[in-house]
Structure 1
Amino acid sequence: MFEDFNIENLENSKEILEVKIKESKNKIEELLKIENKTYENFVMPYQEVGERLNEFITPIFHIDSVKNSNLTQNVLEECLPIISIYETELSQNDYIYTSLKDIQDKYYTSLNDIQKKVLENEIRDFELSGCHLEKDKKDKLKELNLKLSELSQKFSQNLLDATNSYEMICDDYEDVKELPKSDIELASFEEDGKTKYKFTLQMPSYLAYITYGSNREKREEIYRAYCTRAPENENVINEILKLKDEKVKLLGFDCYAQYSLSRKMAKNEEEVVSFLEELGQKGKQKAKEELEEVAQLAKEDGIDNIKSFDLSYYSEKLKKAKYDLDQEFYRPYLEQNSVLEGFFSFLNEVFKVEFVDITSKTTSWDEKVKIFNLKEDGKITGRIYLDLEARKSKRGGAWMNNWHTHYIDTKNKEHLPTAFIVCNFPPSKDNTPSLLRHDDVVTLFHEMGHALHHLLSKVEEPYVSGISGVAWDVVEFPSQFLEYFAYAKDVLKIFAKHYKTKEVLDDDSIQKLINTRNFQSSLAMIRQIEFALFDFKLHQKLYKDAEEIQDLLDSIRAKFSPIIPPSYNKFQNGFSHIFGGGYAAGYYSYKWAEVLSADAFYMFIDSSNLFNKTLALKYKESILQKGGSSNMDKLFFNFAQREPSVDSLLKIDGIIS
């Protein structure tokens, strides 16, 4: 039923990949020889060829990001050129393109809406891949795609290497005395008969010191290390931007932003920029007021000019003063296993999906990985792998990755979906379980929103099932929607239980968490606007060198940001979303999709019941089960029976009343 995750033969991946690509090419050649091509005899088997190859390739990329080693790096470096060349050749194959066009023209009236969507997407993607170009331009595009995939991988590897190479040692307990006990335990080690404390740029460790570190000089030391990582990425960025500009101009676009929007829900560049600037203008005054509140607190310590490396530390103090909130108090109530058990219970109650632990019955890549089958109406419908704890060999951040997709093949066999959720939560030790921050819980809800969007799909065509075919600027909608429930009192009560006493978190403590949700919400929004505008404007024309790029970032900060980072901050060298991932000219998607997610959640608020099963099942059927089979604006309208409103987002964030 499911393919087990098995990388015993990883070192031979290149040879196996070459065989599989040859098989794929042969199968496509067979399909192209069919005289009377139809959707059934050509498009469906063509999709299956793509799915089978993707199912082999995904673990190669996945293992390099979760269990990074010289072997995984070498394997990926060997496989990347082969994959890139194959995908470019495939995407420029005139015969496939004209076959799809012919089927669309000939059978359009007899196709269902989902089949029409598959053809529409594929034909668009062939055109965006240069299928209409002359041979010399196609060859050039192939070369550019290969270089870009290699540079993207190089950017990520540079960042990971830089993250792993840094350690900050504190000899004095005074420097760590304000840290939560569990963070002190994780950082402590013995050397020459003395207890010392080690901090790294791994996110749990970095956040612990930047938020609670008593020594201002040490805070700046680790902050500086974090925001000056991988200076060599400056040259990688210049090269990526140059090649992307060259690529899209070959395809007939004015700039990369224009090219990017051709696959998104947003209609044009002006719409994106005005959307972001409108949010920025509405939030910047309140952000200034939020910063001033922190600055006043810092003045009590004699700091008259608050800096970026002070912000988390004094914000945490202010939050505690305003709401009497001690994050450390909550962590024993948010033990990882308890959170998972309660979270699954909640999902089963509202979406009628059961999670069955099968960790001991199958294989994965690390002993800490947990594996679950999903069941709906007593039938197994999907599988999920959870790799939640930080370790040195794992890339930072959190993400969901799809492996298998739900579809019905040409032999009428149902293929079930699988997905990975990867996070970097505080690791468990022999004597210390993994105790989460509430922010970690929110992250888990977010990534599970992505996973359910993929795993609950009932679409029968693989290229628009699950998250496949979903426009990039709305793909965050289901993940952000689920996040809101991580602040709901009745949801928290299901799993917030002390790991020793089993006592449930009391109402007052939960209310404090809810009250803090909008703490510095305008500062957080302005930060996202800064990232999104920088990304989008960076791709509206060619910025030729690091100085021009820095000037752009500085100009956006000057317009919106209430606090300007120190000049040594080179945030762009670590902006892996756009240089090492798929968010180039698309980072605005987080805010764009948040409008949908906030509006959908408001429907539950308006119903006066966050466990509204009728509404939850309507959401499951209208959004989650439909995957990419229809445009999200249409799916949202079917669910809500109206257009989304920006005001719902601003209300939920407490920016307007």
Structure 2
Amino acid sequence: MTNPLLAPLDTLIDYVAIEPAHIEPAVDQLIEQARAAVEAAANPALPATWEAIVDPLDTAGEKLWRAWSVVGHLNAVVNTPELRQAYNDCLPKVSEFSTWTGLHLGLYQQYQRLQSSPDFQHWPSTRQRVVELALRDFQLSGVGLEGEDRETYMQLAAELAQVSQKFSENVLDAVDQWTLLIEDESRLAGIPVDVVQAARARAEEQEKAGWLLTLKMPCYLPVMQYAHDRELRATLYRAYGTLASEHGKPEQDNSALIERLLALRAQEAKLLGYADFAELRLQTRMARTAGEVQEFLRDLAHRAKPYAQRDLDELRAFAKTQYQITELEPWDLPYYAERLREKRYAYSEDEVKQYFTEPRVMQGLFQVVKTLFQVTLEACPEIRLWHPQAQALRAVDAQGQVLGYLLVDLYARQGKQGGAWVDSERNRRRIGQHLQLPVVGLTCNFTPPADGKPSVLTHDDVITLFHESGHALHALLSRVDEPGVSAFASVEWDAIELPSQFMENFCWEWPVVQALSAHVQTGEPLPRELYDKLLAARNFQSGMQTVRQIEFALFDMAIHARPEGMNIAQVLQTLNEVRQEVAVVIPPSWHRFPHNFSHLFAGGYAAGYYSYKWAEVLSADAYAAFEEAAQAEGRQDTLHPHTGKRFLDEVLAVGGTRPAADSFLAFRGRAPLLDALLRHGGMDTALSTDTASA
């Protein structure tokens, strides 16, 4: 039987053919091959050349990491008990191999030989940077550890991977298993028709009479925004706010996992000679110290909090005056915020949503990419994917050359992790005369199409899609021929959000919105009057949204900038202290936000959540270059091809071949400024706390 996970690197993966039984044999074989390649490359008798040491390592390593990326992707988008078991059986093996490689003194010495060789200074700068980053990463992977410390580090790395995976599984299972059957239709008053219909369909699938609500975002968010039934909103808020905590099933409680992760991370940092996990992580970031990050966040909080307080005061006054609500509870905030938006700007999100059909939005996105970067995204039906709703695209340049492949999976479903993300199956790489093209996955969780009608997206969904497309373009439009300095491998984490947040800006441009919109029934584009209302409301409650992100980022840094771990009570106390400092909304004491904070405890954002705000400064300032170009030419839109080409050349195409600060400087001609971020967020004028609370 042919194992699809062992397909040659220069062929595309047949996802339909992959079965759980393929996973462990493929991983075992590829680890064995990669281990042999490491041992061969570590031979000191080899000449100190790229071709003798790095090329064979990249080839063997990439086969393993491609297969493991495919397995991880499937585990996230079509999770089944059999697939999960196969993934978990292989996770310790993959973790052990990765740790073993990072600790391999002989291989480390070979990279030192490469850097010290007489020819090194004449190498291309890209290859020099690969070696320099590899030497740094060896140091951060514990290559200098010996004896008992070395064994301890290997055990830590293995357990960290397993505990993070279990955290993720608990969140997925807690979301998948929670449902609420509504038998009285009057309780659904106010909820958009398509959401109610989807709830009815879910109930029918389970042979139940009524409407089945879930905690997946296409259901949860509309209920919180539109359900007139206050008790119903409170029920869903509490369920979501206590996911994977002691308030649910004991086997899904993430409390002990959070404690263990923090202890393991602190121990790892100490072993490697750092004061805490934050200091360890910041060795590979633009920001240098936790203090620098905290100062940046507190400065932003100082500017934003008066606006946040004003937002909340206005909402409280509105709820009291219009609805006689004297005590605004957290589950009331989305509901009355949407009522205030409707009253102030005379539109609702549900009204706008009818104009953003998924096929038209995708078509409009493709047009933006083509205008800015002269790249066409076209269907590639010959690639067989993991689900009928997933689709494959190829990116083609103006000369007709294929640049890479984009695998898109847009809809929420059972067994699929929530959220939106981009991952990479295969990097661009040049091997002799052969150019290996990147394969990138883009995943979202939008409402699926139903009753023969296309899926309709909220404007926030559209922004999410553009955000993830920015990540995808970072990999697809790369001109980097060495995987070691590809975007996802080496761009500093606090700059990785630059392309994604940059792309969000175009969702607010009138010509782009016209191209993105076609009413689900009439096909008409969004009317200018409705667009003007949407634009006027762009910064609606932006103060509250900003301080919420700062709250998450400060909490993240606070729990990781410590020499020791914390128990769950200390974690929750730390979160409360951060909220007292920067938040304007304090959730109930039973709320368990950390237990569902997968970015920190099951993703790559530990001691790095600040990256969203840090990179937002970069992205806002980068987009300001397009605004300035449009203004200089008297254009009505910011789709400026010349500036787009410069952004492609200096940011997207170069990946991690140079520090992100240098790439930004090359594009903008100067260091980034905070001004554009504050202006885009409507916070560019002074607003005192006194004024805010007046």
CA distance in 2, matches of 1:462, 1:343: 27
- Residue in structure 1 matched with residue 128 of structure 2 by the alignment: 116
Structure 2 residue 149 is the aligned partner of structure 1 residue 127? no
Query: CA shift at 1:137, angstroms?
Result: 1.2
Query: CA shift at 1:631, angstroms?
Result: 0.6
CA distance in 1, matches of 2:446, 2:496: 24
Paired letter, 1:620:
L
CA distance in 1, matches of 2:21, 2:243: 30
Question: Cα gap change, 1:457/1:149 in structure 2, threshold over 3 Å: closer, same or farther?
Answer: same
Seq. identity, %: 33
Q: Equivalent residues in 2 for 1:174-573 (5 A)? A: 174-189=186-201, 196-231=210-245, 232-299=253-320, 300-359=322-381, 361-376=382-397, 377-409=399-431, 411-541=432-562, 542-573=564-595
Q: Secondary structure at the match of 2:210?
A: strand
CA distance in 1, matches of 2:537, 2:424: 33
Q: Of 640, 657, 666, which residue of structure 2 is paired with 1:638?
A: 666
- Residue in structure 1 matched with residue 691 of structure 2 by the alignment: none
Stretches of structure 2 that go unaligned for 5 or more consecutive residues are 1-9, 246-252, 631-636, 686-694
Query: CA shift at 1:487, angstroms?
Result: 1.1
Structure 2 residue 161 is the aligned partner of structure 1 residue 149? yes
Query: CA shift at 1:184, angstroms?
Result: 1.6
Q: State whether residues 307 and 563 of structure 1, in contact with CA within 8 Å, keep that contact through their aligned partners in structure 2.
A: no
> 1:50-94 deviations in whole A, cap 9, x for unaligned?
222111110111111100110111011111010011001011000
> 1:410-449 deviations in whole A, cap 9, x for unaligned?
x331110011111000011233321111111000000000
CA distance in 2, matches of 1:20, 1:652: 48
CA distance in 2, matches of 1:435, 1:334: 5
Q: Secondary structure at the match of 2:441?
A: strand
Paired letter, 1:271:
E
Q: Secondary structure at the match of 2:426?
A: coil
CA distance in 1, matches of 2:465, 2:162: 30
Q: State whether residues 456 and 466 of structure 1, in contact with CA within 8 Å, keep that contact through their aligned partners in structure 2.
A: no
- Residue in structure 1 matched with residue 12 of structure 2 by the alignment: 3
- Residue in structure 1 matched with residue 689 of structure 2 by the alignment: none
Q: State whether residues 338 and 499 of structure 1, in contact with CA within 8 Å, keep that contact through their aligned partners in structure 2.
A: no
Q: State whether residues 486 and 655 of structure 2, in contact with CA within 8 Å, keep that contact through their aligned partners in structure 1.
A: yes
- Residue in structure 2 matched with residue 620 of structure 1 by the alignment: 648
Q: State whether residues 164 and 392 of structure 1, in contact with CA within 8 Å, keep that contact through their aligned partners in structure 2.
A: yes
Q: State whether residues 395 and 405 of structure 2, in contact with CA within 8 Å, keep that contact through their aligned partners in structure 1.
A: yes
CA distance in 1, matches of 2:448, 2:525: 23
CA distance in 1, matches of 2:25, 2:349: 50
Query: CA shift at 1:195, angstroms?
Result: 6.5
Query: CA shift at 1:310, angstroms?
Result: 0.8
- Of the structure 1 ranges 276-285 and 511-520, higher mean CA displacement relative to structure 2 is found in 511-520
Paired letter, 2:42:
L
CA distance in 2, matches of 1:26, 1:144: 24
CA distance in 1, matches of 2:499, 2:541: 24
Q: State whether residues 244 and 256 of structure 1, in contact with CA within 8 Å, keep that contact through their aligned partners in structure 2.
A: yes
CA distance in 2, matches of 1:558, 1:459: 46
Query: CA shift at 1:35, angstroms?
Result: 2.7
Q: Of 88, 97, 106, which residue of structure 2 is paired with 1:77?
A: 88
CA distance in 2, matches of 1:26, 1:545: 42
Q: State whether residues 406 and 466 of structure 1, in contact with CA within 8 Å, keep that contact through their aligned partners in structure 2.
A: no
Q: Secondary structure at the match of 1:517?
A: coil
Paired letter, 2:422:
M
Structure 2 residue 34 is the aligned partner of structure 1 residue 15? no
Paired letter, 2:640:
N
Query: CA shift at 1:2, angstroms?
Result: 4.1
Q: Secondary structure at the match of 1:3?
A: coil
CA distance in 2, matches of 1:449, 1:636: 16
Paired letter, 2:221:
L
- Of the structure 1 ranges 229-238 and 338-347, higher mean CA displacement relative to structure 2 is found in 338-347
- Of the structure 1 ranges 564-573 and 168-177, higher mean CA displacement relative to structure 2 is found in 168-177
- Residue in structure 1 matched with residue 620 of structure 2 by the alignment: 598
- Residue in structure 1 matched with residue 3 of structure 2 by the alignment: none
Q: Of 73, 85, 92, which residue of structure 2 is paired with 1:62?
A: 73
Q: State whether residues 346 and 494 of structure 1, in contact with CA within 8 Å, keep that contact through their aligned partners in structure 2.
A: no
> 1:357-377 deviations in whole A, cap 9, x for unaligned?
023x22000000011011012
Q: Secondary structure at the match of 2:523?
A: coil
- Of the structure 1 ranges 163-172 and 92-101, higher mean CA displacement relative to structure 2 is found in 163-172
Aligned pair count reads 655
CA distance in 1, matches of 2:396, 2:126: 25
Query: CA shift at 1:303, angstroms?
Result: 1.8
Q: State whether residues 405 and 466 of structure 1, in contact with CA within 8 Å, keep that contact through their aligned partners in structure 2.
A: no
Paired letter, 1:90:
T
CA distance in 2, matches of 1:516, 1:252: 49
- Of the structure 1 ranges 27-36 and 153-162, higher mean CA displacement relative to structure 2 is found in 27-36
Query: CA shift at 1:217, angstroms?
Result: 1.0
- TM-score with structure 2 length normalisation? 0.92
Runs of 4+ more than 3 Å apart? 189-195
CA distance in 1, matches of 2:439, 2:207: 49
CA distance in 2, matches of 1:434, 1:236: 37
- TM-score with structure 1 length normalisation? 0.97
CA distance in 1, matches of 2:19, 2:212: 36
> 1:160-188 deviations in whole A, cap 9, x for unaligned?
11101111222333322211121121122
